[in-house]
Amino acid sequence: MDALFQWAEGTSLAQFIARSAAVTGLLSGVHLVGLTLVVGGALVSGLRLLGVAFAEWPVRDVTGTMDRGMTLGMSLSVATGALLVSPRISSASGNGIFQLKMLLLAAAAGFYFAVYRPVMRGAEAGPVARRATGAAGLVLWLGVALAGCAFILLE
Amino acid sequence: MSITEWLAWLEASPVGRVATESLWGFPILVAVHIMGLTVSVGTIVWFDLRLLGVALRGCPVTDVYRRLIPWATAGFLVMVVSGGWLFVGYATSAYVNIAFRIKIAAIVLAGVNALAYHRLTERHVREWDALVRLPLPARMAGLVSIALWVTAILAGRMMSYTMF
């Protein structure tokens, strides 16, 4: 793994990012745009799954067309996040908050594709299971966002 | 008192010094600012996507607005208070920073765009409330809002790399 990290840090792309504050700033901005789309999507769809908002409309009518936007947000954040961390992946990987962020991200993304998205698209789920899905999605994505804030500020 | 003196006075105030001198002031304010942003812009953007007819298609536009606006407003207040506090701490360097000026201009224009939507476009909402494909002015309002908020976020992050 260390050899892989050292290779990533040595690539010309990683070194280009490390040298340019403008490119790093732009990548960081796109990273936050993606996160905003995901957390907002988790909030809006989560409120419907929880039955707090849009309860008079079928789940599928509210959330069935939201998955593409959330997937786009995730893709933007993951791609730019990988580029942002590439010049310093060796030190970041040893950081406890970064490890927590990656763990939460893996849990949130895995849960999203395995459970959350099928329920958004109208898969059969009882009221309790649906509410639990909405709450878990919301908690996981807010956790990713908070761990992300903590990582950039306390690294 | 000139604007520069006034900004320097803001920075030296106890409120400004919480952002700059206390151990946890800056990280907590930035984290709160980003969380406020994800809730506020994160919900506004989904209303914009409804205007564009790409998300929440099954719900009338007015219903989407009514359900999301309390979250967007609460997030916006959190974002403005934490952002205003951070500005007080770094007032002189933020004031002359081009990314900060672009960010503020984008937020003001987003407000003007929202006002124009509510005062002009929304007057005929009964005719298209439940449609998926909305009239051009409504779709434009959604597209312009997304473009301005993305600009504000990009400029906001750019501040971190051009101010310090």
pTM over 0.90: yes
The confidence score (pLDDT) of residue B17 equals 96
Domain boundaries along the sequence of chain A? 2-154
The confidence score (pLDDT) of residue A1 equals 83
| Contacting A residues, span 77-136, partner chain B, CB-CB under 8 Å | none
Nearest-CA distance from A1 to chain B in Å?
Answer: 30
| % chain A with pLDDT above 70 | 99
Residue-wise pLDDT for B91-106, tens only, equals 999 999 999 999 999 9
Contacts of A57 (CB under 8 A, 6+ apart): A48, B58, B59, B63
The confidence score (pLDDT) of residue A154 equals 75
Look up residue B27 and give its amino acid: P
Interatomic CA distance for residues B61 and B68, integer angstroms: 11
As for the ipTM of the complex, it is 0.95
Nearest-CA distance from B1 to chain A in Å?
Answer: 34
B contacts of A31 (beta carbons < 8 Å): 157
Cβ–Cβ under 8 Å, residues A57 and B62: no
Of B27, B55, B158, the CB nearest to A153: B27
Of A25, A41, A62, the CB nearest to B162: A25
Nearest-CA distance from B128 to chain A in Å?
Answer: 17
Q: Mean pLDDT, to the nearest integer, of A22-41? A: 97
Note whether B69 contacts A: Cβ–Cβ < 8 A.
Answer: no
Of B30, B42, B161, the CB nearest to A149: B30
Q: Mean pLDDT, to the nearest integer, of A86-104? A: 95
